[in-house]
Amino acid sequence: MLKSDRWIREQAQQGMIEPFCPELVRAVEWNGQMRPVLSYGLSSYGYDIRLSPVEFKIFRHVPGTVVDPKRFNPKNLEPVELHHDEMGDYFIIPAHSYGLGVSLERLQVPDNITVLCIGKSSYARVGLIANLTPAEAGWRGYLTLEFSNASSADCRVYANEGVVQLLFFEGDPCQITYADRQGKYQDQPQRVVVARV
């Protein structure tokens, strides 16, 4: 069953999402004025998390290399500079490229819940696709977020603003949680974590 705002709020008070915003934020004060933001916080049946300003990396072509999830070469990623202007803090994802960021919020998923991370429509409408990824029962840490710029133009992705929505699904209790089996992405720091085997 998909969990509602009431349940998400109750679980957040027990540490499921930190920091937690109990309402959907669409504008913030900046230089004495209200500035619109890509919404973040609690919605009716989900929670919009923010992109951390700490780190963002894009894939680059390294001649003679192939991206391999079993033997990932960190040289295939390069850091992207955080920019600032009156619209906010942002990273730029070049046209037809792929980038990795990290969530501002830390999650601690209950043992009977699986979380799906889906893209926001404002980004989808400009060609930025967030990969659909799960956070399994018992997982905890900062999510590494994956984005593909499918458009023919460079795209801004805003830090400290909503970037993906989390949907929380309750199931029958599982026999072994992600924490129990010591999953390879458990306790991720607020840094980009590359593919592991």
Active site residues: 146
Short-list 183, 187, 188, 109, CA closest to 144: 188
pTM above 0.75, yes or no: yes
Report d(CA 20, CA 93) in Å as an integer.
Answer: 27
Residue 194 has pLDDT above 90, yes or no: no
CATH fold label, 5-170: Deoxyuridine 5'-Triphosphate Nucleotidohydrolase; Chain A (2.70.40)
Domain boundaries, the chain: 5-170
Could you read off the pLDDT of 90-108 as tens digits, one per residue?
Answer: 999 999 999 999 999 999 9
Report d(CA 58, CA 156) in Å as an integer.
Answer: 13
Distances (CA, A) of 93 to 60, 103, 117, 156: 11, 17, 20, 6
Residue 121: its pLDDT value, please? 95
The DSSP call for residue 156 is E
Could you read off the pLDDT of 146-155 as tens digits, one per residue?
Answer: 999 999 999 9
Taking a C-beta distance cutoff of 8 angstroms, is the pair 155, 19 a contact? Answer: no
- Mean pLDDT for the chain? 94
- pLDDT bin (cut points 50, 70, 90) of residue 181 is very high
